[in-house]
Structure 1
């Protein structure tokens, strides 16, 4: 009898494997390997909850996990594995995080016809929602555009909440040139257009996304800026600039330098206003990140600003 009770309570290999999957510790590669061990486990790939394929979503919190997905999609294209690609795209909000998959397929594996058919359909859906490249914005051209003009374009749906920009990063001299794909939300934050970014957020911009960069001559893509971390970087820059203006004003004491001091004070007030608008956006962005489950996501990306900064 004891033996029978023990057999009743013991778990088989598949049950153990399912428990490991549900724990979320496997990551993308680990999940794909363990789910190939049996027909029963293979069905987990069709389960987008945390008990199946959805368990890999925990990996998006880390750069290595986000980067691993690009390698997975490249393998799908390489072997024209339409089934795996379709299962991947079924994950919630996944297409918002990985733009330009069609562009990647056409440049690397244009003969992957089964995957091409799936991506054409997906791209058609996203194009209809305005979620591909913004027709008006590239991140290096945001600076001269007034906030009011940007807000008007957002209000009139000329700039869509989840569109992307493409352009070169501001790499330091001597570095390999990089191409960066930025969510428009990140582009606005990088350009310190905080009011426009808040308007975009209220229009439904996703925050559980990141920028992607690709070095010249390399096919690998690396995750970069997160919207929340981009804002933290920008606010830190503003505080640093405010401190510098205070130091410079204290140095300028002569009456002959009165005009210069007045200009420095004007600059300080301008920075203070920017900071207030940035803090307002920070409150909204933090709430949105918490609701989207990405408040704990980490980045280690400079996007051409020199050495990378860790943001958690």
Structure 2
């Protein structure tokens, strides 16, 4: 946007670069504006944080709605056989391998140019699991079998499985069948954690309409959310479990089921440590997602952090791992929900220890929520004496309203 020969960028160029790199602009606005402005159009080819790579960074994709926008735009490009737009989006580092259904869509829409582009080996090889009933085989899948499939090029560590009209990462499906050994093998082989479940038929025709709003859906879960959701229920009702692996006939012994769950939970927690490390490296610890637990506790679907999910599950062990990994204790989710509010609103008296750890990690104990409540007023409302006592000891202002 600066003129040839200029030594410094123009103020307009600097402003647009800031908007792109901050994620404030959003993909839909960026795409529409760059389509009508020749200078801005060049940012579609700019893979630096100041160009399209900033708009599509993992930080910018933290909300489900931003991920929906990306998916809808890709499908719009395929439907219109806009191979140039498709290439611009998929050329952004990290984009390829996230959308396995694009080639199938191009074939169905007879989008010849997009189909030819997507046929390139780098976009399709090993992305989709072999055409067998793999889902019913996942619980019994062995590391040896996975190793053969990957070594022979039949499967990628970041492969996808189609479940009706939903594309799901193989890593997520292994987690949901509690096959944590194979899930760990995939993670060690480079399986991606910055991917999400998604449908293959969203209405891309509405992408460019002025009043475009994306429908809510229960997909878009990441492997990290799935893992936390599966590990927490393996905890015994009293929150304690036998840390010794069960013997071969434990299933028939009294308490054998609990021992089996305990062993599975230990494997799941070990996998969680590795996945948190990978998620931190990819910059997706702060991603939000809807989760089935929040449906049971709130009036409707909300996008929440993985830390909120751990609080809802009253799982302090998972909670500790998340805090140690660097998940933000003060992150605001949809409707202003925070981990502090979750503990005070939905927790029990024993969960006050999580409240203490949140405070030590920098959580705001005096934040006023959208409904005008503060943590202290909520604790008083629900008559949670331990929480009230802790908040007062921490010097929370009693007069604040």
Q: TM-score range by the shorter chain?
A: 0.7 to 0.9
CA contact (8 A) 1:137 1:165 kept: no
Distance across 2 between alignment mates of 1:28 and 1:302? 28
Give 2:55's aligned residue.
56
Give 1:230's aligned residue.
226
Give 2:208's aligned residue.
none
Distance across 1 between alignment mates of 2:191 and 2:199? 20
2:198 corresponds to which of 212, 216, 230? 212
Distance 1:22 1:262, change over 3 A: closer
Give 1:161's aligned residue.
157
Note the C-alpha offset of 1:75: 2.1
Asked if residue 151 in structure 1 is aligned to residue 143 in structure 2, the reply is: yes
Note the C-alpha offset of 1:26: 1.0
1:132 corresponds to which of 115, 128, 133? 128
Q: Deviations over 1:153-200 (max 9, x none)?
A: 1222264311111124xxxxxxxxxx3211110010011101110011
Give 1:103's aligned residue.
104
Structure 1 residue ranges, 4+ long, deviating more than 6 angstroms after superposition:
305-309
2:267 corresponds to which of 266, 274, 277? 277
TM-score of the two chains, using structure 1 as the length reference: 0.76
Gapped runs of 5+ residues in structure 1?
1-7, 169-178, 247-260
CA contact (8 A) 1:24 1:50 kept: no
Give 1:243's aligned residue.
237
The structure carrying a bigger strand percent of its residues is 1
Give 1:74's aligned residue.
75
Distance across 1 between alignment mates of 2:224 and 2:199? 18
Distance across 2 between alignment mates of 1:185 and 1:277? 15
Q: Deviations over 1:48-71 (max 9, x none)?
A: 121100012233211101111122
Note the C-alpha offset of 1:205: 0.7
Note the C-alpha offset of 1:11: 5.2
Distance 1:141 1:301, change over 3 A: farther
Distance 1:160 1:285, change over 3 A: same
Note the C-alpha offset of 1:113: 2.1
Q: Residue 166 of structure 2 aligns to a residue in which SS?
A: strand
Give 2:66's aligned residue.
65
Distance across 2 between alignment mates of 1:141 and 1:36? 47
2:169 corresponds to which of 183, 194, 199? 183
Note the C-alpha offset of 1:39: 2.1
Asked if residue 118 in structure 1 is aligned to residue 104 in structure 2, the reply is: no
Q: Residue 266 of structure 2 aligns to a residue in which SS?
A: helix
TM-score of the two chains, using structure 2 as the length reference: 0.60
Give 1:253's aligned residue.
none
Note the C-alpha offset of 1:265: 0.7
C-alpha RMSD over aligned residues? 3.0
Count the aligned residue pairs: 267
Q: Deviations over 1:81-132 (max 9, x none)?
A: 211111001011212211110112223x21x2222221122xx32443x122
Q: Residue 114 of structure 1 aligns to a residue in which SS?
A: helix
Note the C-alpha offset of 1:36: 3.1
Distance across 2 between alignment mates of 1:49 and 1:9? 17
CA contact (8 A) 1:139 1:182 kept: no
Distance 1:262 1:84, change over 3 A: closer
Asked if residue 292 in structure 1 is aligned to residue 282 in structure 2, the reply is: yes
Q: Residue 91 of structure 1 aligns to a residue in which SS?
A: coil
Distance across 2 between alignment mates of 1:308 and 1:135? 34
Which structure's relative contact order is higher, taking Cα pairs within 8 Å and 6+ residues apart? Answer: 1
Distance across 2 between alignment mates of 1:137 and 1:206? 23
Give 2:22's aligned residue.
23
CA contact (8 A) 2:174 2:180 kept: yes
Distance across 1 between alignment mates of 2:252 and 2:114? 62
Distance across 1 between alignment mates of 2:200 and 2:79? 19
Distance across 2 between alignment mates of 1:35 and 1:15? 15
